[in-house]
Chains A and B, each alone.
Chain A
């Protein structure tokens, strides 16, 4: 064997993960529209919902008391949604570039590929959401970081859910080609009404509440309302969300591997088209 390759390709390699993160970083830095897109929509969101929050808090005593719940919900929703998009778009970049065959033939393992996509989702999220939180502070006086330590629990749970959805959606695209691309953009919206982002779970019919409580984001948004309205941090809700997230992530990873195997049976890895 040639001695220019440094070591056998066993285990998870940080070097390979780092190489993939570098690949996406080069791409982001080479394209200002990609960077702008990361900031543009979150900024629009916060401005729209911020003014709405201002308006209804003037008209309603409850919302005046529960200051920031709408803006807080918008920011947390963006963490969930943008986290998944950050993951999935990096994956789609490989499909659009027809580079997947090169990667699959390299020593890069699926788990390393997914880990690099997770790191990229955090980087992309930071580029989009940090300016958003600063706008919330500057224009509407809502200090997102004043949530304090509970914010870490909210963030971890939401990002885990976003990765699970991202892994599942990427598996579908891997198996079915770019014809399944629209799933990447829309799948998270299926979660939206049941995750009770802008309203409490009690608003839902009883039977639907049971469904809502199977989704980790529901616990996060309930936890946020509890914190902002009642000033109580519900650690129990966060713990439940974490347990469900762990199961969800394991299931989505298993499904991804199954879809990868199916793509290999089907021969779609080399084509990757529609």
Chain B
């Protein structure tokens, strides 16, 4: 078993603490989404504290992307409520969209435009002040300088992912929603992106919710993990406590246990 890092454990405890004055970055209550006859999301509830990093885990079709899309207001819930940064979604989403951003493999940046042009357009959409300096800073931080004036379509997959991350950070969001943020990246670049996300969270007290299949990434980055299966929350705790509960050394083993419906050893009643 891994030693529990006390700093992370404290952050994880904070992530579960009920916020005073309703200041949770994300507050989801009894959320349901039904597509025709399929219950993509089935009565899930959770609150995410500001400044935390939470991982949303689950196999294909578990409901992660639909959940994130409902948090963003791109998909309307069948029932239940979502509050983001204090605003009710989707009714008040324009009050907070400027403080959020996202990255997803389901969307692309325009291919014919250069990286600089793309970042300029999104910077203007988000009303970023001193945009040129901001783009230069992102180019420095995310190592985009060599291809800043190259068309997005001519970049490698890893370069595109970094550009998408630059777009997601252009407005220095308080809330960052990431769907597979290190997909298509080589291990070195992926590690570097994770470091960047950790630093960003610390320096900006930003809240990050990320959906990922990369268990190592989730173990390393997240204070808290929400495991989804068939639209329901299967487990919700810090990575260390979840691994301890399943008596496993890695989240990947836990993930396989959950995906294959294996009985957990020592798991407290009512958590499955």
Contact = CB atoms under 8 A, between A and B. Distances in A.
A271 interface: yes
Nearest to B151: A30
B76 interface: yes
A167 interface: no
Interface stretch (A53-61, A122-130, A259-267): A259-267
B126 A23 contact: no
B76 A261 contact: yes
A87 B74 CA distance: 23
Interface in B71-130: 72-76, 90, 94-95, 97-102, 104, 106-113, 117, 120-122, 124-130
Contact of B104 (A1, A261, A264, A270): A270
A99 B106 contact: no
Nearest to B134: A4
Given A19-B121, A269-B75, A27 B110 contact: yes
B171 A5 contact: yes
A267 B172 contact: no
Given A27-B112, A101-B107, A264-B90, A16 B125 contact: yes
Contacts of A2: 99, 171-174, 204
A5 B113 contact: no
Contacts of A270: 65, 69, 74-75, 104, 106-107
B66 interface: yes
B98 A4 contact: no
Interface in A40-60: none
A89 B40 CA distance: 33
Most buried by A among B65, B109, B125: B125
A4 B107 contact: no
B98 A5 contact: yes
Contacts of B125: 16, 19-20, 103, 106-108
Chain A residues touching B, range? 35 or more
Interface residues of B, number: 48
Contacts of A93: 110
Interface in A1-47: 1-10, 13, 15-16, 18-20, 22-23, 26-27, 30-31
A100 interface: yes
Contacts of A266: 35
B167 interface: yes
Contacts of B126: 5, 106-107
Contacts of B106: 98, 101, 270-271
Given A16-B124, A264-B75, A270-B74, 8 more contacts: A1-B174, A2-B171, A5-B127, A9-B94, A16-B127, A22-B121, A107-B97, A107-B126
Interface of A: 1-10, 13, 15-16, 18-20, 22-23, 26-27, 30-31, 93, 97-109, 261, 264-267, 269-271
19 contacts: A1-B99, A2-B204, A4-B128, A9-B94, A16-B125, A20-B125, A22-B120, A26-B112, A26-B113, A100-B107, A105-B102, A107-B127, A264-B73, A264-B76, A264-B90, A265-B75, A267-B75, A269-B75, A270-B75
